[in-house]
Structure formats: C-alpha cells, structure tokens
Amino acid sequence: MVQRMMLASVAILWAGVVGWGASQTVPAGTYLSCRLSQPVSTKLNSAGQGFSAKVSEPVLLNGFLAVPYRATVIGRISSLKAPGRVFRSATIVLMPDSITMPDGQSYPLNAVLVTVHGVPGARVIDTEGTLQGPGGHWAQFKEVGLGMGGGGLLGALLGGPHGAILGLAIGGAAGFLDRMRRGIPNLSLPANTELEFQLLQPLTISTSRVAEYNMPAAPR
C-alpha cells in the first residue's frame, strides 16, 4: 500500500514536471537569500578574489522547489576600496557569476546584492550592489559637532561668550584630530553574514534537475 502511494506520488510529480517542458525559468526580480561561506574584508581581501554563499531559503516556482537549500552562489569581488583616513568609507561589490545545485549542476547567474544583515553600519548604497561600511562624512561631522558642543559649553561656563567661541574652535579641532587618529574602520563581513541577491535576468534551470529535488524519499 505504501509503495503504491509512493509510486502514485512520483507519477503525479513527474506528470507535472513533464508538463513544464525541458526547462523552466525563475523570473528576474526573484530574491535569493544566502549566507556567506567565508569572511570577506577590505583589510584582507582584494578585487578579483572569489567568494561563495549558500542559499538559506529555497525558491519555489509554481509549487515546485526550483532552487534548493544549500545551493551555492559563486562569484567574485568586482570592486573593493579601503577606507580613507578621515572621510571615505570602505566599500565592497560582490558580483555573483553562477549558482551550483547540490547535484553539481551549474547555471550562469546575473544578480545584484540588495541587502546585508548582521554587519553593523553596513548598507547597500546603489543599484550596482555597492556595500558601504561604517564611518564617512556623517560620522566625521558628528564627532566634530560633539567636540564643538562640549568645548563651547565648557568655554561658556569658564569665560562667557568669548570663552564659548574659543571652546567651539578647540572642541571641534579636538574631535577632528581624534577622528584622524582612529581612522575609519575597514568593512568586514564574517562567515555566515546574511546576503540577499536579486535576479537581474531570468535564471533558466533544467526540469529534470527540478524533478530530482522534488522526488519523494523512499520509505524506510
């Protein structure tokens, strides 16, 4: 009885897959949620080096599992810029090239990074998928402003209006110099950082491979 049910399920599944045709297409705009397999950093890596990420959320297409859990996105660091001493934040562009299914079948992949989770201060800043690290102009202005505010308040308490003006200048300069001393941090993505890519072009996959992913397990 169990075997007959299993064979019926396989027959129904196969009929649906055959109805699909030789291949099916995951549409552009679909999101791929992944976890970075190795750390990437503006301090330790350089442009041109490779990276990989494991799919963490399967993609369903018309009720079938099209991109399974732990499929591997393989790509390269197409651009990497170290942080400046005062103003420029670190940036990284991760460019996917292909996706490899658990059975080894590989397909070209045209996608862009849209979101990163788990890296404080990091954000995607443009449609090219440029990931920017913490620091930069806003942090610089914030620290100089805090220094000026503190210096101005202390100067006003000690020397009135003239002291306030002098305190603003001294406090701002102190904040600026402290920022220069510490510099802007590098952008570091630890292993297992959550990445979300979006397909720029459709991803065409083999129907026979989809059938394998969706095949029911044999009873034990």
| Residue 8 per-residue DSSP state | H
177 and 191 inside one domain? no
Query: What is the domain-level CATH number for residue 79?
Result: 2.40.128.260
Q: Which residue has the higher pLDDT, 167 or 21?
A: 21
Considering the domain boundaries, does residue 110 fall inside one? yes
Angle CA(200)–CA(202)–CA(204) in degrees, nearest 5?
Answer: 145
What are the pLDDT digits (tens) for 60-75?
988 888 999 999 999 9
The parent domain of residue 92 ranges over: 24-134+184-204
149 and 178 inside one domain? yes
60 and 97 inside one domain? yes
Taking residues 7-33, what's their average pLDDT? 64
The closest of 53, 32, 50 to 203, measured between CA atoms, is 32
What are the pLDDT digits (tens) for 112-127?
999 999 999 899 999 9
Q: Which residue has the higher pLDDT, 142 or 11?
A: 142
149 and 124 inside one domain? no
State how many domains the chain has.
Answer: 2
Considering the domain boundaries, does residue 167 fall inside one? yes
Angle CA(96)–CA(101)–CA(102) in degrees, nearest 5?
Answer: 130
For residue 11, what pLDDT is reported? 39
| Residue 46 per-residue DSSP state | -
86 and 194 inside one domain? yes
Q: Is the pLDDT of residue 209 over 80?
A: no
What are the pLDDT digits (tens) for 138-173?
444 444 444 344 433 444 444 445 444 454 444 444
For residue 211, what pLDDT is reported? 58
pTM as predicted: 0.70
CB 35 within 8 A of CB 2: no
- pLDDT above 70: percentage of residues in the chain: 60
Q: Is the pLDDT of residue 77 over 90?
A: yes
